[in-house]
Amino acid sequence: MFEMLLNKAKATEENFFKELLNQNMNLEKLNKIYKELKLDLNSLYFQDEFILHYCCKKDLFQAVLWLISNGINIEFENSQKETAIFYAIHAKSSAILQTLIDNKITFYKEKEKLENGYLLRNQELVKSDVEMVYNYILKQQI
């Protein structure tokens, strides 16, 4: 019995990231680690990036769904004023983009930044994508 307790792995932040970023995540295991560690999702960074931004950038759809369902701030801006929607557009992930829109992310900030001429790193690379998405959203609202 004592050996079983010793062998039982303690949950760590590393284990949390490993499970969250796994394409075949085990939800039961992820939820258990999350509850055990009592993590603040809004203060989690992976490879120097806000965890939601990282998951959007890497097109980790299931991870994004899990983070949103557990209350992560989808409006969080990094030091370059980029939000999750920027990373979803940049990754060309329509599923993540639709999920962010369904969860009421503010897209108009990005459009305003475009119109005012100060948007994002790699602005010229994503400007047409942002405008395309903006037009798509407008059509959906009609």
List, for residues 61-112, the tens digit of each pLDDT value: 999 999 999 999 999 999 888 889 889 888 888 899 889 988 988 765 555 5
Would you say residue 96 lies in a domain?
yes
Weakest-pLDDT range from 16-25, 110-119, 123-132: 110-119
Q: Give CA separation, 131 vs 16, 23, 114, 142, in Å.
A: 36, 30, 9, 17
Would you say residue 13 lies in a domain?
no
Q: Report how far residue 9's alpha carbon sits from residue 134's, in angstroms, rounded to the nearest whole number.
A: 47
With cut-offs at 50, 70 and 90, classify the pLDDT of residue 138: low
Would you say residue 31 lies in a domain?
no
Would you say residue 20 lies in a domain?
no
Would you say residue 26 lies in a domain?
no
User: What are the residues whose beta carbons fall under 8 Å from the beta carbon of 142, sequence distance 6 or more?
Assistant: none
Q: Which residue has the tokens 């369904």?
A: 102
Would you say residue 18 lies in a domain?
no
**pLDDT tens for each residue of 17-37:** 999 999 999 999 999 999 999
pLDDT of residue 97: 87
Q: Is 88 exposed, middle or buried (0-12, 13-18, 19+ CB in 10 A)?
A: buried
Would you say residue 14 lies in a domain?
no
Q: Report how far residue 61's alpha carbon sits from residue 80's, in angstroms, rounded to the nearest whole number.
A: 23
CB atoms near residue 79 (< 10 Å) = 5
The DSSP letter of residue 41 is G
CATH number at residue 113: 1.25.40.20
Would you say residue 97 lies in a domain?
yes
The range of the structural domain enclosing residue 92 comes to 40-141
With cut-offs at 50, 70 and 90, classify the pLDDT of residue 113: low
pLDDT of residue 99: 92
CB atoms near residue 96 (< 10 Å) = 26
Domain count, the chain: 1
pLDDT of residue 10: 79
